[in-house]
A and B are shown apart, each in its own frame.
Chain A
Amino acid sequence: MEDDAPVIYGLEFQARALTAQTAETDAIRFLVGTQSLKFENQIHVIEFDDENNIINKNVLLHQAGEIWHIGASPADKAVLTTCYNKSESHCLYLFFFFLILLSRASFPTASDSRVVSCAAVWRMPCDLETESHESPDDSAHNPQALELLCHLDDSTYGNAACVLWEPMGDGKRVISLADNHALLWDLQESFTQAKVSSTATLEGKGQLKFTSGKWSPHHNSSQFATANETAIRAWDLRTMSQIYCIENAHGQLVRDLDFNPNRQYYLASCGDDCKVKFWDVRNVQEPVKTLEDHSHWVWSVRYNHSHDQLVLTASSDSRLILSNMVSISSEPFGHLVDDDELSEGEDNHQEEKNKEPLKDSVVSTYEEHEDSVYAAEWSSADPWLFASLSYDGRLVINRVPRALKYRILL
Chain B
Amino acid sequence: LILIRRIAPSPVPMDVEGDDSALPEDSGRRRKVHGMLKLYYGLNEEGKSNEQPQALDPCDINGPHFDPEIYMNKLRRECTLAELMDQETCMVKQIRSLDSDMQTLVYENYNKFISATDTIRKMKNDFKKMEDEMDCLSANMEAITDFSARISGTLQDQHTQITKLSGVHTLLRKLQFLFELPARLNKCLELQAYSQAVSSHRRARCVLQQYSHLPSFRGIQDDCHAIMDKLAQELRQKFRDGGTSAKDLSECVELLLQLDEPAEELCDKFLSHARSRLESDLQGLEAEIRPHSSSSRRESSFHRSSLTAAAASDELLHAFVDDLAACYFSLVERRIQEEKSVGDNSLLVRALDRFHRRLQAVAKLLPGSSVPHHGTEIVIRAATERVKQYLSALQSFYMDSLTDVRQALATPRLSVAGGASHLGGAELLSSLSASILNQIKSVLASVHLFTAKDITFSNKPYFKGEFCSQGVRESLVVSFIKFICQSSRQFCESAGDKGGSTPPILLLLLSRLCLDYETSTISYILTLTDEQFLVQHHTPVTPVTALCAEAREAAQKLLNHYVKVQGLIISQMLRKSVETRDWVNTIEPRNVRAVMKRVVEDATSIDVQVGLLYEEGVRKAHSSDSSKRTFSVYSSSRQQAARYAASYTPSAPLDTNLLSNIHKLFSERIDIFSSVEFNKVSVMTGIIKISLKTFLECVRLRTFGRYGLQQIQVDCHYLQMYLWRFVSDENLVHFLLDEIVGSSAHRCLDPAPMEQSVIEVICERG
Contacts and interface: CB of A to CB of B under 8 A. Distances in A.
Interface in B709-765: 746-750
Nearest to B648: A38
A14 B700 CA distance: 10
Contacts of A39: 648, 650, 653
Interface string B391-420: 000000000000000000000000000000
Given A37-B703, A87-B749, A89-B749, A295 B673 contact: yes
B181 to A, nearest CB: 96
B703 A392 contact: no
B496 interface: yes
Interface in A275-309: 295-297
A274 B497 CA distance: 12
Nearest to A294: B673
B657 interface: yes
Given A113-B585, A248-B497, A248-B498, A316 B697 contact: yes
Interface string B669-692: 101111000000000000000000
Given A39-B650, A297-B697, A317 B585 contact: no
Nearest to B572: A252
Interface stretch (A104-112, A259-267, A322-330, A356-364): A104-112
Give the interface centre of A10, A87, A370 by most chain B CB atoms within 10 Å: A370
Contacts of A274: 673
A318 B657 CA distance: 16
Interface in A237-282: 248, 250-252, 273-274
Contacts of B588: 108
Contacts of B650: 39
B665 interface: yes
Interface in A312-342: 316-318
Contacts of B498: 248, 251
Contacts of B497: 248, 250-251, 273
The interface residues of chain A, by DSSP majority, are classed as loop
A76 interface: no
A110 B671 contact: no
A167 interface: no
B550 to A, nearest CB: 20
B710 to A, nearest CB: 11
Interface residues of A, number: 36
Given A251-B499, A252-B568, A318-B669, A110 B653 contact: no
A14 B746 contact: yes
B693 interface: yes
A352 interface: no
B584 A317 contact: no
A37 B700 contact: no
Contact of A317 (B648, B654, B671, B749): B671
B705 interface: yes
A114 interface: yes
A371 interface: yes
B646 to A, nearest CB: 12
Contact of A37 (B496, B499, B660, B747): B747
Interface string B493-517: 0001111000000000000000000
Contact of A115 (B584, B660, B665, B674): B584
B270 to A, nearest CB: 68
A131 B410 CA distance: 67
B706 interface: yes
B568 A317 contact: no
Contact of A370 (B665, B697, B700, B706): B665
A371 B664 contact: yes
Nearest to B672: A296
Contact of A295 (B665, B674, B703): B674
Contacts of A112: 585
A13 interface: yes
Contacts of B697: 297, 316, 372
Contacts of A87: 584, 703, 749
Interface string A105-137: 000101111110000000000000000000000
Nearest to B650: A39
Interface in B568-604: 568, 584-588
Given A37-B749, A392-B661, A110 B706 contact: yes
Nearest to B495: A251
A323 to B, nearest CB: 18
Nearest to B739: A371
A317 B672 contact: yes
A110 B700 contact: no
B707 interface: yes
Given A248-B497, A273-B496, A316-B697, A113 B653 contact: no
A12 interface: yes
A171 interface: no
Interface in B636-672: 648, 650, 653-654, 657, 660-661, 664-665, 669, 671-672
Nearest to A253: B575
A393 interface: yes
A391 interface: yes
B694 to A, nearest CB: 8
Contacts of A370: 661, 664-665
A318 B665 CA distance: 13
Given A12-B653, A295-B672, A295-B674, A110 B585 contact: yes
A176 interface: no
Interface in B265-310: none
Contacts of B672: 295-296, 316-317
Interface in A52-104: 85, 87, 89
B412 to A, nearest CB: 28
Contact of A110 (B654, B657, B673, B750): B750
A110 B708 CA distance: 10
B584 A89 contact: yes
A142 to B, nearest CB: 14
A217 B748 CA distance: 39
A328 to B, nearest CB: 20
Contacts of A367: 669
Contacts of A318: 669
A108 B706 CA distance: 11
Interface in B362-377: none
B703 A115 contact: yes
Contacts of B661: 370, 392
Given A318-B669, A391-B700, A113 B664 contact: no
A110 B707 contact: yes
- Could you say which of B496, B664, B665, B703 has the most chain A C-beta atoms within 10 Å of its C-beta? B703
A251 B565 CA distance: 11
Contact of B587 (A111, A317, A391): A111
Contacts of A248: 497-498
A89 B496 CA distance: 43
Interface string B545-560: 0000000000000000
Given A87-B703, A273-B496, A295 B657 contact: no
Nearest to B675: A295
B707 to A, nearest CB: 7
Which 9 pairs across A and B sit closest by C-beta, in order of nearness?
A296-B672, A110-B705, A295-B671, A370-B664, A38-B648, A295-B673, A12-B653, A115-B703, A111-B585
25 contacts: A14-B746, A37-B703, A37-B747, A37-B749, A89-B749, A89-B750, A110-B707, A111-B586, A111-B705, A112-B585, A114-B585, A115-B703, A251-B568, A273-B496, A295-B671, A295-B672, A295-B673, A297-B697, A316-B672, A316-B693, A316-B697, A370-B661, A370-B664, A391-B700, A392-B660
Interface of A: 10, 12-14, 37-39, 85, 87, 89, 108, 110-115, 248, 250-252, 273-274, 295-297, 316-318, 367, 370-372, 391-393
Interface of B: 496-499, 568, 584-588, 648, 650, 653-654, 657, 660-661, 664-665, 669, 671-674, 693, 697, 700, 703, 705-707, 746-750
Given A110-B706, A111-B705, 16 more contacts: A12-B654, A37-B703, A89-B750, A108-B587, A113-B749, A114-B584, A250-B497, A251-B498, A295-B673, A295-B674, A297-B697, A316-B697, A372-B697, A391-B700, A392-B657, A392-B661
